[in-house]
Structure 1
Amino acid sequence: MIKITDLIVKKIIKNEFISIKIIVVLNNKFVGISLMPIESDIIYNNFYIKNIFNSLNLKASMCIKFIKNVIYNNIVGKDPSLQYEIDNLLFLINKKFDNLFFKKIILTVSISIARSYSNYKKIKLHELISELSNNNNNKKPNLILNIFNKNNKNILCNYLDIKNFMLELNSNIFLLENLYYINLIYKKLINKLNKIYNKYLNINNKINSNIILYEINDLIYKSVLYNNNNINIGIDLSASDLYNEHNDFYFLNEKNKVISNCEFIEYIENLLNMYSISYIENSSHKYDWKLSYIQTEIFGNKLKLVGDSIFNNDLFLIEQGIKHNICNSILIKYYNMSTFSEIINICNLVKKYNYKIIISNIFRDIDDLFFIDLALGISSDYIKIGYIYNFNLYKNLILNK
């Protein structure tokens, strides 16, 4: 008989960063280890910098107490092969405390249980996920890379109508040369935008989304990756930010203009005609399912319309969205979920209806390597990473492979 015999939690301090190492032990022999970086709620500036470490230390102590006093007795002695039952207990704990920080702790413990069980079975975690998902597909995911955010600390353009600009790479992401070319595009783009920003700043003008899209378009056309349609542009419209809930309309900041739903559709159509865009996130307000449905009918065969805030990783909302033909792709933010089983359930539902799956990852949030296992295990269509934080991590993963 196999059972969880211990749950060990340790505080790791490295270069003034604090992480919690969570170790699940099976039969006093097999272990599953996950790291949970501790993040501070304190603003990172010179005035508060001396308090950051104290804040991290306090949160780490809270984490250790929570695991020892609340979680430990609920999982020790349980059979890890019954992960769904254990996760139900963890889900109830999460519901009782209803705290985002504790939720991340619970998820990290849940992932550690799955990892320990895969070690017991002498298989990799992504192979265990494949078993649980009945997935026999060995397809490797493509890459969505966030390259520019309108709140970029170097080039502040927070009046832009487009929130994020991305590159969609439709070829094997595990080829290091592809990352080399993307890195080249990114560096050239930032250099160009810096020059343009300084130019426009001097004449009291504003950079608009078209300028950025034009530069990205120009760079990818000149890239060797453009052959065979291997690289395209992705954007996050973050339409909820453009929506006025009180007056029920969308507002384009760059044009200083109120637009109707029909005009919003025309706006997207113009972008598609002008630029090599194949991926759009948040193309409508999260409650505007009518517009999202119309957009899916019009653009669904042309590009990936990705549901993010409209579904909010909620199983019920995803089911309803699929039923009403809302979007054709879903962004899975696994780090916002409460258990390993919840992640698998949502991914299985999305796959069942042939929606595209994009696994999103945030650096220094929940177990950096889990997103790779998840993407491979369910054969996701894409992995989405943020350039600044994840590029070197991703490069190292590929080199290690």
Structure 2
Amino acid sequence: MRITHLDAIEVLDSRGNPTIEAWLRLEDGSEGRALTPSGASTGEHEAAELRDGDPSRYQGKGVLNAVGHIRGEIADALIGTTPSGQRELDNRMRELDGTPNKGRLGANALLAVSIAYARAAAQARTLPLYQYLGGTDADLLPVPCLNVINGGRHADNTVDFQEFKIVPHHAPNFAEAIRMGEEVFHALKALLHARGLSTGVGDEGGFAPNLHSNEQAIELILEAIAKAGYTPGTDVSLALDPATSEMWHHGRYRFFKSNQKEVDSDAMIALWSDWFDRYPIVLMEDPLSEHDWDGWAEITRRLGGRVELVGDDIFCTNPDLLRRGIREGVANSVLIKPNQIGTVTETLDCIELAKSAGYGCYVSHRSGETEDTFIADLVVGTGCGHIKTGSGCRGERTAKFNRLLRIEHELGTRARFAGRSAFVR
């Protein structure tokens, strides 16, 4: 189907920073739109997000140059062409950019066009987006992992670790899992309020109270699970993203908020092993830094049979980095963030590679999000089984939950819920 129209504008993400909305039309009138998110805690090998750098606009964060690339060079290359499919379109844009990290045209520009084309192509085929991405058999709804307490670089509080999440896996379907998660979220809010702790929320909708230790965050969440009427570990488990690349300091890990101490890889592995003994944790994302490949191999050898160890910063949704991880026995799962790699095709390639190696795939939002719900269709289309898109509030987070609720309703009796089996051990 021939591409007849491509345009873009500068819009806003959930932080009030500029981002891109692109829309693309095919000759039959099918149209797709897409908005791109932005991360705060980012891996060094992520595809390059193009910002203007003009301090007179949005403190240099404008994206008019990237928008201009879509309206100009990318539109000139695509309008009037008839791609054979998603891969041809994405490859054409990658070749046009010509850089390893998409830094010339901007990964944010390429991804917006790539997703917009996917939506238009799905509409032209009268398919829902999740079936365009994964085939007509796509029917697996994910376990939602709700980020209910924030710390690290995502909050101005005393907690070193970035994300403390609840995992309502013991549910018959996605709708009930969301209900369980929201009930725990509101129980936690009431608990914090009763103890005089802040119930203000951070970028991803999680609470960001000042606590006397990192462990207190776990203890509060476990209490909230019980307060909501559920059994920790049986009904609702825990997942963590300590974002340890942010703690990496000259080859060691610095607890930069709570006590300023520095420890080595062995001490961090011992800490996580102790937490796995004491708490019902089913998933740990970035337990070690992206620079600590030897430590990653060691933690995978020692603890990979107990919990899903997810590589985010160390892999950056990049098939080449994931191949190295597979060779070296690093992690047993990969975080999937489309804007880390910059096209739909490369995102799908990373998922396929992970699955072929027996790795899990954990689909993720970014901290600077938009109302775009692409990742909800992606997680169903690829059957990845679990997703994180923030906490139990903020419209850009709940938009993904609402899209998944609609997909589950649309699938009807065909819909399956991943449950605890989604987590690699």
* TM bin (shorter chain): 0.7 to 0.9
1:393 and 2:394 aligned = no
Quickly say closer, same or farther: Cα 1:376–1:399, change in 2 above 3 A: closer
1:148-172 CA distance string (max 9 Å, x none): 22258886115x3x22211122143
Q: CA deviation at 1:10?
A: 5.4
Offset of residue 207 of structure 1:
1.3
Once the two structures are overlaid, the 10-residue window that deviates more, 66-75 or 391-400, is 391-400
Corresponding residue number in structure 2 for 1:167: 166
Equivalence for 1:234: 239
Counterpart CA distance in 1 for 2:247 and 2:321 is 22
How far the C-alpha of 1:60 sits from its partner, in A, is: 6.0
The aligned counterpart of 1:122 is: 126
**Counterpart position of 1:180:** 182
Aligned-residue RMSD, C-alpha:
3.6
Q: Give the direction of change, closer, same or farther, for the CA distance of 1:3–1:19 in structure 2 (3 Å limit).
A: same
Distance 2:274 2:88 in 1: 50
Q: Which runs of 5+ in 2 are unaligned?
A: 40-53, 200-209, 410-425
Summarize the alignment of residues 2-401 of structure 1 with structure 2, pairs less than 5 Å apart. Answer: 2-9=1-8, 21-36=21-36, 55=58, 59=62, 61-96=64-99, 98-99=102-103, 102-131=106-135, 136=137, 138-151=139-152, 156-157=157-158, 160=160, 162-170=161-169, 171=171, 172-175=173-176, 176-191=178-193, 194-195=196-197, 207-226=212-231, 229-245=234-250, 248-252=251-255, 254=258, 257-362=261-366, 365=369, 368-387=372-391, 388-389=393-394, 390-397=396-403, 400=406, 401=409
CA distance in 2, matches of 1:221, 1:92: 54
- The Cα offsets for residues 346-399 of structure 1, whole Å up to 9 and x where unpaired, read as 111112122111111136646611011111110112111122544432454356
Q: How far off its partner does 1:194 sit?
A: 4.5
Shift of 1:7: 1.8
1:154/1:57 CA distance change after superposition, 3 Å: closer
Q: How does the TM-score come out when normalised to structure 1?
A: 0.80
Kindly indicate whether the alpha-carbon contact (under 8 Å) linking 2:5 and 2:79 is maintained by their aligned counterparts in 1: yes
Q: Are the structure 2 counterparts of residues 299 and 36 from structure 1 closer, same or farther at C-alpha, using a change threshold of 3 Å?
A: closer
Q: Deviations over 1:96-141 (max 9, x none)?
A: 595488321211111111111111111111101113xxx8452211
Paired positions, count: 375
Amino acid at match of 2:94: F
CA distance in 2, matches of 1:244, 1:57: 28
Task: Quote the Cα distance in structure 2 between the aligned partners of 1:223 and 1:124.
Answer: 35
CA distance 1:301–1:81, shift in 2 (3 Å)? same
User: Structure 1 CA distance, aligned partners of 2:219 and 2:185?
Assistant: 18
Deviations 1:47-80 (A, max 9, x none): xxxx999649994654443222111121122223
Q: Aligned partner of 2:244: which letter?
A: A
Secondary structure of the corresponding residue to residue 301 of structure 1: coil
CA contact (8 A) 2:166 2:181 kept: no
Q: Which moved more, 1:139-148 or 1:381-390?
A: 381-390
Q: Distance in 2 between matches of 1:113 and 1:195?
A: 46
One-letter amino acid of the counterpart of residue 390, structure 2: G
Q: Secondary structure at the match of 2:149?
A: strand
Higher relative CO (Cα under 8 Å, sequence separation at least 6) belongs to 2
Identity %: 21
Alignment check: 8 A CA contact 1:233 1:276 kept = yes
- 1:185-234 CA-partner distances (Å, limit 9, x unpaired): 3423542564399xxxxxxx961112221111222234334377231111
Residues 167 and 181, structure 2, Cα contact 8 Å, conserved in 1:
no
Instruction: Pick the structure with more helix per residue.
Output: 1
Match of residue 46 from structure 1: none
Change in Cα spacing, 1:364 to 1:287, as seen in structure 2 (3 Å) is closer
The one-letter code sitting in structure 1 at the alignment partner of 2:293 is: W
TM-score (norm 2): 0.76
Q: Which amino acid aligns with 2:347?
A: I
Contact 2:122/2:128 (<8 A) preserved: yes
**Structure 1 residues 55 and 220, CA gap change in structure 2 (3 angstroms):** same
Larger Rg computed on CA atoms: 1
* Between 171-180 and 309-318, the greater mean CA deviation after superposition: 171-180
CA positional deviation for 1:183: 2.9
Report the secondary structure of 1:80's partner residue. Answer: coil
